[in-house]
Amino acid sequence: MDLDLSAVEPFRAEVRDWLRRNVPAAPLPSLETEAGFAAHRAWERALAADRLSVVSWPEAYGGRDASPLEWLVFEEEYYAAGAPGRVSQNGINLLAPTLFAHGTPEQLERVLPPMAAGEVIWAQAWSEPGAGSDLAALRATATRVDGGWRLNGQKTWSSRAAFADRAFGLFRSDPAAERHRGLTYLMFPLDADGVTVRPIGRLDGKPAFAELFLDDVFVPDRDVIGEPGQGWPVAMSTAGNERGLTLRSPGRFLAAADRLVALWRENGADPLLRDRVADVWIKARAYRLKGFETISRADDIGAEASVNKVFWSELDVALHETALDILGADGELEGDWLEGYVFSLAGPIYAGTNEIQRNVIAERVLGLPREGRGGR
């Protein structure tokens, strides 16, 4: 693992300068509102205009052919600058890597450029009532018809779906097959005939998620990712990116840990909280080193992505809990830290609950026996 970053410093300087000149002086409205979603879409277009929305992609699809190390550097600078959240993250961080691994040349040429430009924002339509972490329990169906498929069923907690343009999801195309077989991975428009989008109400009034009701929604064959009936391994490719570095890069936590240290100093540097602040700071940098190790490997980290997911989700909670303890009663009035804390509590749940991830780590990384097969 080569930790000499001198070769990427010119790229770092370019990104830092661009962000200094272009990051909005005032925070954009929440991307979980209609007005905020539109503002963040415009920000994506600004990034894309200078090929900074997807730096690691090939130039043909709107990227820069940046190396994995340059991508990590971009992420560090992006979060350090306090740049807006990425409203396109479901597409660029989850669907795009899946298409690079399993998509056709036609799909890459058709789907990726408008995704990179912020013209098409994608929702993740996986979970269903009764099928969350146990995704294989899904019941929404895809039925073969002439020229494509008919989708029926319900998806819930669909990220970005309240305002997004298209969605990707997994559907049962062979009801007689075993749980992890007979599944097909499909893309579909959210404004298609038969699609009902129902935002899920929250106490804060921000419809971050939506339920999707699908009633005989036609999807052409060209929108199947991978082979029909073989959607599970394609979905696990997406899940690996969701749990690994792609969705939650080290730069996110480096910047937050530095903010935490500054907050601690500004509020009197309470010695009783010093060890907790230091622990978060150290773990954020350990995650950075793990990122370097990950990108230096030639192989896919596979089930080890579950280790990443447990680590960063628990780090996020600890970071924000510490910030609120530093602020004391004032924490109830401090919007950014409080909102970050509330969101962090979802981290151990989304992308597969941490309980499920620990099973994956035990069985697939450590090789321990499954419960009921010689172990407990």
Name the helix (H) or strand (E) containing 245. Answer: none
Strand partners, 224: 186
Distance separating alpha carbons of residues 101 and 314, to the nearest angstrom: 29
The sign of the dihedral angle between the CA atoms of 85, 89, 93, 97 is negative
Active site residue 32: no
Contacts of 336 (CB under 8 A, 6+ apart): none
Answer yes or no: are the C-beta atoms of 117 and 42 closer than 8 Å.
no
Residues 323-341 as b or e (16 or more Cβ within 10 Å = b): bbebbeeebeebeebbebb
- Give alpha helix (H) positions in the chain: 9-22, 34-49, 68-80, 89, 96-102, 105-116, 231-243, 250-266, 271-296, 305-327, 335-344, 354-360
Q: Where are the beta strands (DSSP E) in 106-176?
A: 122-125, 141-145, 148-159, 166-172
**Which residue out of 32, 44, 242, 304 is catalytically annotated?**
242
**136 burial via Cβ count (<10 Å: 0-12, 13-18, 19+):** middle
Q: Indicate which residues carry an active-site annotation.
A: 242
